[in-house]
């Protein structure tokens, strides 16, 4: 099986990827580069995690770096702030969808754990998932944070996931936890995102596992 996987510098997504690694022959990681809403350290930390995953799983690995900050910059003044996280995640799934089509992927892996953050409530997950048609696998959906941290420590990704970097400044103070699909679709109809989406995916930087060290050393 070939799978797309959303990979961040956080604790959850590396654990989700590892937990399904015995079922996957080839991983295509997709990382949403949030700069300028975060700093350069965040992207390097993610590559360090990708390198660690490549060392501990028996599958081919590469990563697409997509300039998600461009999309956030476009959206931030056009949308109600409380829906930022849901729209942000829907755009990430759109990147994954387009890259998945290019890579002939069979599934999409995400590190969501039910209720941990605003975009991970059941209603928001349902609203977010409408973007894609391939199976979305969430192996951590019923795990609590301590269980996930325990696995991260065991596989050696935890220390990399807590390396310092700036938090995303696009996150609103009061994010919506029950976003209706109809509301989100209405908002998306009023914003021109498709050309930017295609530009972002078309200009994504692709890094193979053998080149991870070179990127980290830049």
Residue 101 has pLDDT above 80, yes or no: yes
The yes-or-no verdict on residue 206 having pLDDT over 90 is yes
**Residue 124: per-residue pLDDT:** 93
Q: Does the pLDDT of residue 189 top 80, yes or no?
A: yes
User: At 108, which helix (H) or strand (E)?
Assistant: strand 107-109
| Average confidence (pLDDT) over 29-49 | 97
Using 50, 70 and 90 to split pLDDT, how confident is the model at 118? Answer: confident
Residues 121 and 34: their CA atoms lie apart, in Å, by 22
Secondary structure of residue 28 in the 3-state scheme: strand
Q: Hey, what's the torsion of the CAs at 19, 24, 28, 31, to 10 degrees?
A: -10
Q: How high is the pLDDT of residue 120?
A: 85
80 phi, psi to nearest 5 deg:
-60, 130
Q: Which of 30-39, 50-59, 113-122, 179-188 has the lowest mean pLDDT?
A: 113-122
Classify domain 2-216 by CATH architecture.
3-Layer(aba) Sandwich (3.40)
CA dist 54 and 18 (Å) reads 10
What does the pLDDT average to over 69-88? 96
């Amino acid at each position: 099986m070939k799978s797309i996987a959303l990979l961040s510098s956080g604790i959850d997504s590396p654990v989700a990827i590892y937990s399904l690694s015995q079922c996957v022959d080839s991983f295509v990681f997709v990382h949403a580069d949030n700069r300028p809403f975060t700093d350069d350290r965040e992207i390097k930390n993610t590559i360090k995690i990708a390198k660690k995953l490549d060392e501990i799983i028996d599958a081919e690995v590469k990563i697409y770096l997509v300039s998600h900050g461009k999309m956030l910059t476009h959206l931030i003044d056009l949308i109600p702030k409380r829906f930022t996280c849901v729209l942000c995640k829907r755009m990430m799934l759109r990147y994954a969808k387009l890259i998945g089509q290019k890579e002939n992927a069979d599934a999409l892996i995400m590190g969501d754990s039910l209720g941990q953050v605003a975009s991970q409530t059941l209603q928001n997950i349902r609203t977010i998932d409408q973007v894609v048609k391939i199976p979305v696998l969430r192996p951590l959906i019923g795990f609590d944070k301590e269980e996930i941290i325990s696995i991260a420590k065991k596989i050696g990704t935890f220390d990399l996931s807590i390396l310092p970097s700036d938090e995303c400044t696009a996150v609103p103070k009061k994010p919506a936890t029950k976003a209706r699909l109809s509301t989100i679709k209405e908002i998306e109809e009023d914003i021109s995102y498709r050309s930017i989406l295609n530009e972002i995916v078309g200009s994504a930087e692709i890094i193979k596992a053998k080149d991870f060290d070179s990127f980290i050393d830049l």
